[in-house]
Chain A
Amino acid sequence: MALHSVSTLLETVGDAVWRADALACAPGSVLASGHAELDAHLPGGGWPVGALCEILQTQPGQHEWRLLLPVLRQLTQVRTQGQNQSVRRQPARAQPGRPRARQVVLVGAPCMPFAPGLAGQGLSVSTLLLVQADSLAERLWAAEQALRCADVAALLLWVADASSSRVRADHLRRLHLSAQAQAKLLFVMRPLSVQGESSPAVLRLLLGQAPVGADAPARGDALAVQILKRRGPPLVQTLVLPARHAALATLLVVSAAQRQSAPVIAAEPHLSVAAPCRAGCASESHHGLDRTAAAA
């Protein structure tokens, strides 16, 4: 009887409540992240639209493009028929037919984005809008203004860790609410030191470099993603995403092979040369995903 009442309760409440051992169904719509391994562990199977996602890393500007480029590429490209497949659940108000809502606003980026490199990976750079603001108050103001704009699809905000102007949870909550009201993608890059603080973000990721071990030296270029917080059971293991562009990965592999056979720079023999890299490093780097989530 108790089980029956719980299941009826779950049915009536809907997406707002989820079982602790299962991933929540995201209440809003969701955009596929472009990394299949990551999608499998995100509630709803992708980035939540209209919610705050926090990305923590040791230094700003180290890893975020690799993680976010697939979804930004998908947002900024001209919408076609095939685009509907990547959107799992689309509420009525975010219709894909609106052609203009595809601006990506970068607020407080650590340095200049290099547009040729981004365009080479498929991002439409004419949709990028770079807002340079020094103080935290200006960054938060610009972010909130951008979230209110109908033509903005995603907002990337970098907040520094200066002790004088520290971003507070109510700042983030305000951004989260305006992203929710306008159904925008919102990513906030924060330093690693705020890992222990509470945050209103629905998703917190910790980015790092996959450790270069003797067993898998080729994975030194893979992206290690640790999900600190999500709507679902905590995930103990680290996801490893082969997030480099295929052309760059191939270049690194080929160069490593060349250097192993014959060092190119003969003039500086003391320059250390990369460790040998086995071919096909991009395809063998997902063994960490075979484990299932450690349910409580």
Chain B
Amino acid sequence: MDWIALQPQPEAPAQAGSTDATGDVSNDAARLADPLRALGWWALRYTPKVVLLADAVLMEVSACTRLWGGRAALLRHIYMSKKPVALINYAQGDTSLIALARLIQTPARSVAGAPPPDHPAAARTARRPPDAPDDLPLHTLLAAQPHLATLARLGCTTWGQLRALPRGGLARRFGAALVDALDQAYGQRPDVYLWLTLPEVFAAALELPSAVESASALLFGARRLLAQLQVWLRLRQRGVLALELAWQMDARRHTAKEGALVLRTAEPAQDTAHLQRLLAERLHQTTLPAPALWLHLRSLETQPLVGQSASLLPDEQPHGDSLVQLLERLSARLGADKVLRCQLQADHRPEQMQAWLAADNTSNSIATCAYSVRARGQKIIKNAVVVDSGSDGTASPLLPTWLLAVPRKLSVRQGQPQYQGPLTLLAGPQRLESGWWADQADAVTVVALRDYFVARTCCAVLLWIYRERLGHAAQQAAGDWYLHGVFA
């Protein structure tokens, strides 16, 4: 058995030199919501036997040492490679409790910021303390910590002295747990743990340090959860398509106790910066009825991330964001109905020839993507409108370039339509009679019996106007003139 104990150093001091080891995980100083768990997830790349115990990550590496080229090479790899936590303490031992005890005993002995143990001999002297397990102080044994004062009065300060006591009396006085822990520490009982696994669906919670009144201030806590999510996504090699940020509010206010918002992206994203921007826009539009106390982040849907093939030449790289990111950012702030894309339709009525649909069709891509993992309770969106821009409709150069959303009624003076002065008819009429198949209920808006003309204003701007041919209903009398388009 060969155990390594790792412990993230609390509150890493602001060392500029340590940032290169962390890389882009903490480039904007976003701390992790749960650094210990992130470090444990990261340690799973070396061995499947990883357990979190008392603020430390314990790894059993006897089975994988040979794979990594020996223990010294493995340790060097652990220290040199990029970790979610910049600075860690480490210790080593033959059993998990010995490794943990050595970690507790000398917390400041070894940090990753120190020069890595390049030389195997130096590493061995640095990490193999001369003290045998018998000489370890008693406070490093977790099971003995409640009884430290009593044991000290008995004259027991090290593991060896405790082990020298008679077993039966020890078990009767302090409980069987202490004896079992001692056996486990000396390797006489197996180290059995519930091993850590990387979950299929990300879910993390964060208790806010103080009650947060405004929704946009939630972003600070959400950033830490997003950093944790990024660690999970990297290890899973997935990108997130939908995630849910939920918050629990003060229950003493007689309002809603929970709130949540769901964030969806069209492309699987591992880039926390983009998610952060989207989340910030959404949180700005949210109001909290009561102060929030807890934050929960959950990944609703993820997808395997397909890496981008990089180019050797720097000029080939596109500069700037992708179009999908632009659409999502614009839609998040302005609203999805403000960012539009055109779809041509085959119809004779001008107002039906085109449809401007929301460009941020996030739901479409979620409905169609394969290999995605959904959280429990997430249904496939089936009624998504798939935009098909293949047909070219009824394109013609004789049509105007601007179309008024609602035709504007023109005043008529002496039988002549007026728009900024009298209009001169240049071409027409083009007779249109369409839409008779529609329901009678909305016939007023659908049936079109019109004569279209090209007219010129006194400022010589060409307009597209029409005259109602047969007045139907009371609103439109026959012979009314309407402005419908502009030839710009």
Contact = CB atoms under 8 A, between A and B. Distances in A.
Given A256-B426, A274-B456, A151 B404 contact: no
Interface stretch (A32-40, A74-82, A92-100): A92-100
Interface string B145-187: 0000000000000000000000000000000000000000000
A13 interface: no
A142 B203 CA distance: 34
A130 B326 contact: no
Interface in B403-429: 403-405, 414-416, 422, 424-429
Contacts of A66: 401, 488
Contact of A151 (B322, B356, B397): B322
Interface string B378-409: 00000000000100111111111111110000
Contacts of A255: 426-428, 454
Given A117-B396, A117-B400, A146-B326, A125 B344 contact: yes
A149 B320 contact: yes
What is the size category of the interface that chain B forms with chain A? 35 or more
Contacts of A210: 460
* Chain B facing A: main interface SS: mixed
B486 interface: yes
Nearest to B395: A119
Residue of A65, A150, A247 with most chain B CB atoms under a 10 A cut-off: A150
Given A113-B401, A128-B342, A272 B422 contact: yes
Interface in B324-350: 325-327, 329-330, 333-334, 338-342, 344, 350
B318 A98 contact: yes
B399 A114 contact: yes
A117 B401 contact: yes
Contact of A150 (B318, B428, B456, B459): B318
Contacts of B350: 114, 116
Contacts of B485: 114, 117
Residue of A138, A182, A274 with most chain B CB atoms under a 10 A cut-off: A274
A184 B486 CA distance: 28
B461 interface: yes
Contact of A245 (B392, B397, B404, B425): B397
Residue of B344, B389, B395, B405 with most chain A CB atoms under a 10 A cut-off: B395
B399 A117 contact: yes
A101 interface: yes
Given A111-B402, A117-B485, A182-B320, A138 B426 contact: no
Contact of B415 (A92, A131, A271): A271
A270 B342 contact: no
Contacts of A20: none
A84 interface: no
What is the size category of the interface that chain A forms with chain B? 35 or more
Nearest to B353: A116
Contact of B404 (A58, A111, A212, A251): A111
B19 interface: no
Nearest to A220: B460
Contact of B425 (A114, A151, A273): A273
A264 B451 CA distance: 13
B315 A114 contact: no
Nearest to B354: A115
Interface string A183-223: 10000000000000000000000000110100000001100
A56 interface: no
Contacts of B28: none
A113 B330 CA distance: 19
B46 interface: no
Contact of A209 (B315, B320, B330, B459): B459
A274 B425 contact: yes
Contacts of B395: 115-117, 119-120
B459 A149 contact: no
Contacts, number: 201
B354 A270 contact: no
Nearest to A103: B323
B319 A61 contact: no
A115 B427 contact: no
Interface in B301-328: 315-316, 318-323, 325-327
A138 B322 CA distance: 20
Interface string A115-136: 1111111000110111111000
Given A100-B323, A112-B402, A221-B460, A92 B315 contact: yes
B427 A252 contact: yes
Nearest to B389: A126
A173 interface: no
A149 B338 contact: no
Interface in A130-160: 130-133, 138, 141-142, 145-146, 148-152
B36 to A, nearest CB: 38
A87 B426 CA distance: 38
A212 B485 CA distance: 22
Contact of A120 (B322, B397, B404, B460): B397
Contacts of A93: 315, 319
B283 interface: no
Contact of B321 (A69, A130, A148): A148
A192 B203 CA distance: 57
A271 B425 contact: yes
B424 A272 contact: yes
B206 interface: no
A131 B334 contact: yes
Contact of B329 (A113, A121, A145, A272): A145
B432 to A, nearest CB: 14
Interface of A: 58, 61-66, 69, 92-93, 95, 98, 100-101, 103, 110-121, 125-126, 128-133, 138, 141-142, 145-146, 148-152, 181-183, 209-210, 212, 220-221, 244-248, 251-252, 255-256, 264-265, 268, 270-274
29 contacts: A61-B488, A63-B488, A64-B488, A66-B488, A93-B319, A111-B486, A112-B356, A112-B405, A115-B354, A116-B354, A117-B395, A117-B397, A120-B396, A128-B341, A131-B330, A132-B339, A133-B334, A146-B326, A148-B321, A149-B321, A151-B323, A209-B461, A212-B460, A247-B397, A251-B427, A264-B429, A265-B425, A270-B414, A270-B416
10 closest A-B pairs (Cβ-Cβ)? A117-B399, A119-B395, A114-B403, A150-B318, A255-B427, A150-B320, A209-B460, A151-B323, A120-B397, A149-B326
Given A113-B342, A272-B422, A274-B456, 14 more contacts: A66-B401, A113-B403, A114-B354, A115-B395, A116-B354, A126-B341, A126-B389, A131-B339, A133-B334, A150-B322, A150-B323, A212-B460, A265-B429, A268-B415
